[in-house]
Amino acid sequence: MGAVRAEFLKVKRSLSWVVVLLLPVALVLVGTVNTVVSGERPEEGWHTLWLRSVVLYGLFPLTVGIGVLASLVWRVEHRGGNWNALMGGPTPALRIVAAKAAVVSALAAAMQGVMLAAVVLAGKLVFALPGLPPGRYVLISAVIAAACVPVAVLQSGLSMLMRSFAAPVAMAFLGAAGAIVLLMLGAGAAASALPYALVGRATQLGTGTFADTGALTLGGAASIAGAAALLTGVLIAASALLLDRTDARA
């Protein structure tokens, strides 16, 4: 647990909260402004608002945002003599990898929380929608947060291997573009094997867009969560193996 605590301490004073707050709020704002200027009311209430903000969010901003957060978490290790301190320290590679991935996943989950809160706020304040959004959005948010974990592990691994801040972010974007292609072609099964596409599918859950049927079933949600757990295990093991083979550098 010590490693995880150390990582949370490191991230506390970084600028990560800017991404966590700004990205979801910006997307809900864009969805709201688009609805307002088009002069229409959200016909299906919460569903329309969710569709307009979360599906766009899942197409690439979420993935790229996780990439930025992962680069931020690893940035400090690539600076000064920190890399050699990390390599020379007693913490096993698996624990380092898991701790970094845990922090990025927690930030991604926080981002989803902000997203849900922003949707509720926009629905209440701008459109004066009745009541609270149905509970299904809490379940969908949990599935999205779970689907973010393999992306966080993958991006954390890329940021570990690359000293550049921007290169892993570019790869996240490329992955997101590939995921859009897969989802446009309706390749649902293939989407489960690619973390970027899995998170895209999770954000489309229950909306009927792209490869989604529109119905929210427990089985569908569980299959995404299961695929996420499997991918997370494989990717953590691979990252730890890679870090184990890395050495101090001059």
Partner 1 sequence: MIGRAVANEFAKMRGLRVAAVAGTLIACTAGLSLLTAVTAPAFADPAGERSWEPLLASMALAVPLASPVLLAVLASRQVDIEHRGGGWLLSQTSGITPGRLCRIKFAALGCVVSAATALQSLLLIGAGVLLGVAAPVPVGAWAGYTASVAVVNLVLLALHVLVSARVDNQLVGLGLGVLGSVLAATATGLPPWLAHTFPWGYYALATAADYRDGALVMLAPDHSAVAALGAAGAALFLLATALFDRRED
Between 49 and 236, whose beta carbon lies closer to partner 1? 49
Which pair of structure tokens corresponds to residue 162? 């690359």
Between 30 and 216, whose beta carbon lies closer to partner 1? 30
Interface residue list for partner 1 (CB under 8 A): 14-15, 18-19, 22-23, 26-27, 30, 33-34, 37-38, 56, 60-61, 64-65, 68, 71-72, 75, 79, 163-167, 169-170, 173-174, 177, 180-181, 184
Q: What's the min distance (Å) between Cβ of 98 and partner 1?
A: 23
Q: What's the min distance (Å) between Cβ of 34 and partner 1?
A: 5
Q: What's the min distance (Å) between Cβ of 141 and partner 1?
A: 20
Between 113 and 178, whose beta carbon lies closer to partner 1? 178
Q: What's the min distance (Å) between Cβ of 35 and partner 1?
A: 9
Between 18 and 241, whose beta carbon lies closer to partner 1? 18
